């Protein structure tokens, strides 16, 4: 929806980014939602909410997801730099 959506119902941009990356990683691992949900100990509906950005995944959940998907937690945060890495050219901080 648009600006008329109540503030409490807006999806945070971080939750959207994390959810999108979680979905990408799941698909790259060739796992279905039911398979990943079972591995994480959550319902398929809850996993869908994480991927859709309507629910925020806890840090503990992201750690479990990273382990199951053979990834790192940082992989879910595309705009976060690793310590000691150079800023990205398209990053506002690099200007």
CATH superfamily membership of 11-77: lambda repressor-like DNA-binding domains (1.10.260.40)
Structure tokens at 27: 């698909």
Whole-model pTM over 0.75: no
pLDDT tens digits for range 23-44 = 999 999 999 999 999 999 999 9
Helices (H), the chain: 13-28, 33-40, 44-52, 59-69
Q: How far is CA 17 from the centre of its chain?
A: 6
Which residue ranges make up each domain of the chain?
Answer: 11-77
């Amino acid at each position: 929806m648009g600006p008329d959506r109540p503030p409490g119902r807006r999806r945070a941009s971080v939750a959207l980014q994390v959810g999108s990356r979680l979905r990408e990683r799941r698909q790259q691992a060739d796992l279905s939602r039911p398979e990943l949900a079972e591995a994480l100990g959550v319902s398929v509906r809850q996993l869908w909410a994480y991927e859709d950005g309507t629910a925020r995944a806890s840090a503990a959940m992201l750690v479990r997801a990273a382990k199951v998907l053979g990834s790192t937690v940082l992989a879910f945060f595309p705009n976060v730099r690793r310590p000691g890495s150079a800023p990205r050219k398209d990053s506002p901080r690099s200007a």
